[in-house]
């Protein structure tokens, strides 16, 4: 038996919950998830209704301010964001300092962190006007930073934002366009990306959002807190799953001769710890409501872009086989949102390294909404978990010559 009071250094009730699987660290009015019923709602609105009818900026407004915007509110929000898409020329020079093959996620988090140095009016988290301005600056500039991180990785020149375009169109142009050449925008692609951003926009207390809240609980400003969230998302167990799915599908195509059955058997026999990437979820034990929407998107967008990708066929066969297999059914393993996103991003022309950046663009309004909700919450306290101490009992110092 363990005397927990000794491990804690004090008596009293403390929960020990690695991974916080059953600890609610805050109350929140932003996102509702019922994992058993496969329900996801932002501010009460079902995710499929928002994905089917709304736009990313509309959903961002909803998450951040709590209500769907009126036409005027949306126009004003969009307009304010479009006036902040430019990066300061000195911030642009940061990109010169990163190695050419730098992963775009740490480039993104570094540049977001640096925004605190360019906008020192952002430092007081309780200055409402400053928070409003930081919100708009982030919503605008993160898209430009993401496009420049891509351009840097392929050694191409940066494009200035064109504010006659929507935020997502502008991002696509800055990512895939060239300075002297007109970029032919594909509206279907812009629409599909917009929808994917909506699907990723919030997911309550996931690792990166909890990180944003924890850092912000020390009264760190919005840029510092969001930069920490980007770093949390960088981890392969969080934002990196869409990349892992694509690698798995490629492996099935190249190393298993496209034989889905044999791969599924390897997973079931737990050979080399193989898992079906893009399957299973900590919270959804029925189905992930986002996965259905992404699957439809994948079929539609690949058809519209005229892309015939054998990886999509492999993904669909894999899903079909898994859903009909007792191993996966008994364990309540269903495709999650990331199962099809990689295939879509690939069809759009994004390299694998950019997949997690696209996730970050989507999650941005959720992070901002949670930070702001926390700052307005009178119950907010600095995050400070306890631990169970498992080190040595008290012992006396031994001088260096006796060791
Ligand atoms: N493939 C095969 N078996 C699996 C998988 C999978 N993808 N996921 C879980 N299992 C099995 C486990 O082996 C375990 O079986 P057992 O009870 O016989 O030992 C059982 O299902 C329960 O698994 P846990 O790991 O306890 O489930 P948990 O809820 O902790 O894990 C997770 C959830 C991490 C998402 C897991 O399902 C997984 O690793 N999936 C693949 C990675 C992935 O797609 N991650 C993206 C998540 S969504 C997102 O981040 C946006």
Reported as a single tens digit per residue, the pLDDT across 53-81 is 999 999 999 999 999 999 999 999 999 99
Q: Which residue owns the Cα nearest ligand 1 atom 15? A: 331
Tell me which of 280, 332, 360 to substitute to probe ligand 1's pocket, judged by most ligand atoms within 8 Å of the beta carbon: 280
Cα gap 226→113, rounded to integer Å: 8
> 195-219: per-residue pLDDT in tens?
999 999 999 999 999 999 999 999 9
Contact at 8 Å (CB) between 137 and 26?
Answer: no
Q: Which residue owns the Cα nearest ligand 1 atom 42? A: 277
377 is catalytic: no
What ligand 1 atom has the least distance to the C-alpha of 281?
35
Question: How far away, in angstroms, is 199 Cα from ligand 1 center?
Answer: 21
Cα gap 392→72, rounded to integer Å: 63
Tell which residue, 291, 271, 267, has the closest CA to residue 281. Answer: 291
To the nearest whole number, what is the mean pLDDT of the chain? 93
SS3 readout for 253-281 = HHHCCCCHHHHHHHHHCCHHHCCCCCECC
What ligand 1 atom has the least distance to the C-alpha of 267?
2
Task: Report the Cα 274 to chain-centroid distance in Å.
Answer: 24
Tell which residue, 227, 83, 106, has the closest CA to residue 162. Answer: 83
Question: How far away, in angstroms, is 277 Cα from ligand 1 center?
Answer: 8
Question: How far away, in angstroms, is 202 Cα from ligand 1 center?
Answer: 21
Cα gap 12→319, rounded to integer Å: 48
| Cα–Cα distance list, 338 to 66, 144, 314, 377 (Å) | 27, 24, 15, 32
> 321-356: per-residue pLDDT in tens?
999 999 999 999 999 998 889 889 999 999 999 999
Number of CB atoms found within 10 A of residue 367's CB: 28
338 is catalytic: yes
Q: What is the pLDDT of residue 7?
A: 65
| Cα–Cα distance list, 326 to 255, 270, 322, 329 (Å) | 25, 15, 8, 5
For residues 248-272, average pLDDT: 90
Q: Which residue owns the Cα nearest ligand 1 atom 3? A: 275
Q: Which residues line ligand 1 (CB under 6 A)?
A: 238, 241, 267, 275-282, 331, 333, 336-338
Residue 248's pLDDT band (cuts 50, 70, 90): very high
In DSSP terms, 181 is beta-bridged to: 178
> 366-385: per-residue pLDDT in tens?
999 999 999 999 989 999 99
**Among 200, 203, 281, 370, the one annotated catalytic:** 281
Residue 9's pLDDT band (cuts 50, 70, 90): low
For residue 20 the two structure tokens come to 């916080």
What ligand 1 atom has the least distance to the C-alpha of 275?
1
Q: Which residue owns the Cα nearest ligand 1 atom 19? A: 331
Cα end-to-end distance, the chain, whole Å: 34
Contact at 8 Å (CB) between 347 and 302?
Answer: yes
Q: What is the DSSP letter of 306?
A: T
Q: How many residues does the chain have?
A: 403
Q: What is the pLDDT of residue 5?
A: 64
Helix pair angle (310-323, 289-304), 10° resolution: 150
**Among 186, 288, 338, 370, the one annotated catalytic:** 338
Q: Which residue owns the Cα nearest ligand 1 atom 28? A: 282
Question: How far away, in angstroms, is 279 Cα from ligand 1 center?
Answer: 7
Q: Within a 13 Å sphere around the CA of 138, how many CA atoms are in the beta-carbon half?
A: 34
For residue 11 the two structure tokens come to 């008596």
For residue 55 the two structure tokens come to 């736009």
Question: How far away, in angstroms, is 74 Cα from ligand 1 center?
Answer: 39
Question: How far away, in angstroms, is 113 Cα from ligand 1 center?
Answer: 33
């Amino acid at each position: 038996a363990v005397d927990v009071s000794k491990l804690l250094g004090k008596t009293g009730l403390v929960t020990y919950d690695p991974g916080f699987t059953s600890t609610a660290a805050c109350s929140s009015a932003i996102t509702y998830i019922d994992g058993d019923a496969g329900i996801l709602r932002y501010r009460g609105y079902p995710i499929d209704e928002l994905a089917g009818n709304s736009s990313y900026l509309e959903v961002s407004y909803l998450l951040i301010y709590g209500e769907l915007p009126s036409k005027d509110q949306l126009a004003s929000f969009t307009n304010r964001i479009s006036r902040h898409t430019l990066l300061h020329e000195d911030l642009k020079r940061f990109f010169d300092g990163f190695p050419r093959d730098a992963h775009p996620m740490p480039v993104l988090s570094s540049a977001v962190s640096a925004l605190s140095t360019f906008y020192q009016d952002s430092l007081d988290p309780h200055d409402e006007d400053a928070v409003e301005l930081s919100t708009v600056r982030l919503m605008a500039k993160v898209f430009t930073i993401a496009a420049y991180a891509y351009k840097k990785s392929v050694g191409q020149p940066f494009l200035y934002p064109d504010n006659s375009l929507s935020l997502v169109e502008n991002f696509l142009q800055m990512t895939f366009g060239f300075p002297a050449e007109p970029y032919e925008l594909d509206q279907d692609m812009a629409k599909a990306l917009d929808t994917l951003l909506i699907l990723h926009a919030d997911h309550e207390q996931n690792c990166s959002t909890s990180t944003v809240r924890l850092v912000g609980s020390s009264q760190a400003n919005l840029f510092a807190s969001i930069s920490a969230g980007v770093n949390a998302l960088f981890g392969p167990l969080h934002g990196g799953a869409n990349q892992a799915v694509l690698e798995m599908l490629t492996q099935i195509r190249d190393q298993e001769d496209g034989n889905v059955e044999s791969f599924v058997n390897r997973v079931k026999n737990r050979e080399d710890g193989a898992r079906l990437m893009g399957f299973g979820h900590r919270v959804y034990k029925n189905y992930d409501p986002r996965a259905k929407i992404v699957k439809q998107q994948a079929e539609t967008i690949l058809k519209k872009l005229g892309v015939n990708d054998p990886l999509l066929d492999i993904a669909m066969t894999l899903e079909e086989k898994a859903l009909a297999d007792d191993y996966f059914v008994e364990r309540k393993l269903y495709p999650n949102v990331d199962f099809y996103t990689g295939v879509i991003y690939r069809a759009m022309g994004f390299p694998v390294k950019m997949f997690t950046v696209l996730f970050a663009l989507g999650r941005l309004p959720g992070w901002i909404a949670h930070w702001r909700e926390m700052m307005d919450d009178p119950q907010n306290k600095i995050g400070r978990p306890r631990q169970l101490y498992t080190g040595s009992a008290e012992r006396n110092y031994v001088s260096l010559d006796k060791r």
